[in-house]
Chains A and B, each alone.
Chain A
Amino acid sequence: MLNEERIKLMTKMACYEADEGRKNVAIGSYFRGDYIGLQVIKSIISGTIAFVIIFAMYIMYDFEIFMADIYKMDLFGFAKTVIIDYLIFTVAYALVSYGVYTYRYAKARRSLKIYYNNLKKLSYLYDKEVKNRDYKEI
């Protein structure tokens, strides 16, 4: 027998799963620390790539002067400033992404809570249906 109430609930949940739910379920499968940690690591990697690109542009811009001065300049000092710049850039970027992903995780959890409640309701409806059927058979 078709149970109309159950079908309505299942349809609603399937719609959620197909749309925004898919992303939220993926986020919800992580622990909070794992999810945020992973995203921050990804941010650090992309921040590093971006820094390398910007640094390469900077060197290319002054390429001739840079090549002429390379034997005269304090390479150690230069490396130190570059590394400090890199750290400032990456840490700032990682902090921003930490904030963004913390917010997103909390949001996904909140949205999933309703979904899990619906799952409970569904299982309850299902149990009730099975019991009713068994009762009729007896």
Chain B
Amino acid sequence: MTTLLVYREQLKKFYSKYELYITPVIKFLLALLTLVMINNSIGYMGELKRFAVVMVLSMLCSFLPMNFIVFVAAGVTLGHLYKFSLECAGVALVVFLLLFILYFRFSPRDTIAVLLTPLCFILKIPYVMPIAMGLAGTPASAVSVASGAIAYYTVSYMTNNASMLNTFEEDEALEKFRYLIDGLLGNKAMFITIVAFVATVVVVYFIRRLSVDYSWTIAMITGALLDVLILLFGDLMYNTKLSIMGVIVGSVVSVLLVKVLEFFVFNVDYSRTEFVQFEDDEYYYYVKAVPKNTVAAPQKRVKTIRVPEKAVRQQKRD
């Protein structure tokens, strides 16, 4: 445990020193991972899969704001779907537009959750997201996680039914469109997942704010159990063909991952070096403000208990 704590302090120091370079690198890697995953799962458009295109887009994301990655991911997804079928691209565009117009005006900060949720779905550990967002965010993050789930299920429905969608003739655009809408609105697995995730985010959020010991750990475990319970219950009621083992193993892995995240990310103040400039009447100031790293070495408290001599003598006499 001590080694881990020391490691965390070192990480913190390293980050505050090289924050200027680390953040773009992280953004670049995230963008690269996102694009590679999208290309692997729905790679219909060859042009977008080219190494140079992927690299240039990731480079762009590395120095533009975080939300730009979401736009790039949405754009690339639409490009692939357009190559596959115009109707699919249209439906996906409408879903993305509605999410964007109605929700992301409110919380541009949470946009990243929408990107990470589908990524976690592809990695088979979507259960990380509601727990992590409940710990790090607010109850409003539930909407972000739900939006991510909607985006994932929309696209995955299209790719899973690709062969069926290909059987439609050119002049059957309306039927194809109707088939897509029916499929999306009748996707019970999606609705159950959304209900489970929203409930998990809210429950985790409220438990972690309780003033009891280990509230974070209790929140994680309760959240994961609730998630599994709702998913299994939904499976029983609507027969969503859920893999029970997958849910349980995924949840266990998710709780462990969130525990690691808690240790290294959520509870640590990664204050970074700030560069600011200002002026007064006489000077221009270019200030580099470096955070003081106060390593919290556990303080030893020695308490001496002295027995009064009088009492000792008394004891001897007895």
Contacts and interface: CB of A to CB of B under 8 A. Distances in A.
A95 interface: no
Contacts of B102: 46-47, 50, 93
Interface stretch (B44-52, B115-123, B249-257, B277-285): B277-285
Contacts of A120: none
Contacts of B181: 57, 61
B241 interface: no
Interface of A is mostly: helix
A126 B101 CA distance: 47
B101 A46 contact: yes
A15 interface: yes
A47 B105 CA distance: 11
Nearest to A45: B101
Interface residues of B, number: 20
Interface stretch (A6-14, A27-35, A75-83, A108-116): A6-14
A100 interface: yes
Nearest to A54: B98
A100 B106 contact: yes
B94 A15 contact: no
A10 B285 contact: yes
Interface string B258-302: 000000000000000010111010010101010000000000000
Interface of A: 2, 6-7, 10-11, 14-15, 18, 42-43, 46-47, 49-50, 53-54, 57, 60-61, 63-64, 93, 97, 100, 126
Interface of B: 94, 97-98, 101-102, 105-106, 174, 177-178, 181, 274, 276-278, 280, 283, 285, 287, 289
